[in-house]
Amino acid sequence: MSIVVTGSTGHLGRLVIESLLTSAVPAAGIVAVARDPEKAAPLAALGVEVRIADYDSPATLADAFRAGDRVLFISSSSVDGRRVRQHTAVIDAARAAGVAQLAYTGVLGGPDADFDLAADHKETERLILESGLPYTFLRNGWYTENYTGNLAPVLEHDAVVAAAGEGRVASAPRADYAAATAAVLTGEGHLDKAYELSGDTAWSFAEYAAELSRQTGRTIVYNNVPAETMVGILVGAGVPEPMAPVLVDVDKAIERGRLAVATGDLARLSGRPTTPLAESIAEALKS
């Protein structure tokens, strides 16, 4: 039996593998599934087995999994209509192999999530349930890095810009999600369960701007803008046109309180409190 991590060269996948290794899982017991052998080379250098497969090529997935594997299925980042087809290929391959666990990274709220980004995740959960595979649904909230990962425009204009009104976000950094995911993949009692994963404390964009101001010594404001204005800002910043409305729709979901839910599941699984926003900001400013 191996622990298999798909999307292993992405931000979350790499952190999950690091968490597994620090959890005393031997490298020989970890499999990294990746599209690009070159990007996976650093993982191979750690002694992790690399299997090359692509969500868009179902034939390559036939050799990605083995009977008894515990599989972390990291969702595709595609937003061009391919995602459900890609996910179906992964589910079919996992079922054919007879994996022991399929842990899927969905979205906070699961079937109750009412924003556009959630639609493919809800369909994927339905397909997994229909497959009969032993599953764990890891319904991830928003990553703090979605905001702190690119502070340059904020610092250039001394403004946090969003279309989220007074909504709040119970975010946590990817490393927190990775630690919880590693616990699910190595522990017992997680089969056929769904976890709503989010930060311990929800923050508002005004609070985010205030914390940036405190740590930088500058006056950084929060500008709440109409949805159509935000779409234009994102496209102007280089976000692909099909993706910009999807992201702004998330802002409106935040305004409705959909990503403010703090269940405590993330902290319980990881065994530690989630990382405070101020700490994430400090780390981002250092880098």
User: Closest by alpha carbon to 134, among 71, 224, 219?
Assistant: 71
Q: pLDDT in tens for each of the 287 residues of the chain?
A: 799 999 999 999 999 999 999 998 999 999 999 999 999 999 999 999 999 999 999 999 999 999 999 999 999 988 777 899 999 999 999 999 999 999 999 999 999 999 999 999 999 999 999 999 999 999 999 999 999 999 999 999 999 999 999 999 999 999 999 999 999 999 999 999 999 999 999 999 999 999 999 999 999 999 999 999 999 999 999 999 989 999 999 999 999 999 999 999 999 999 999 999 999 999 999 98
The burial of 39, by beta-carbon neighbours within 10 Å (0-12 exposed, 13-18 middle, 19 or more buried), is given as middle
CB crowding 264-278: b at 16 or more within 10 Å, else e: ebbbebbeeebbbbe
Tokens of residue 272, six digits: 């530690």
Could you report how far apart the first and last alpha carbons of the chain are, in Å?
Answer: 38
Instruction: Decide: helix, strand or coil at residue 54.
Output: strand
pTM of the model: 0.96
Q: Which domains does the chain have, with CATH numbers?
A: 3-140+174-197+262-270 (3.40.50.720)
Angle at 45 between CA 41 and CA 46, to 5 degrees: 125
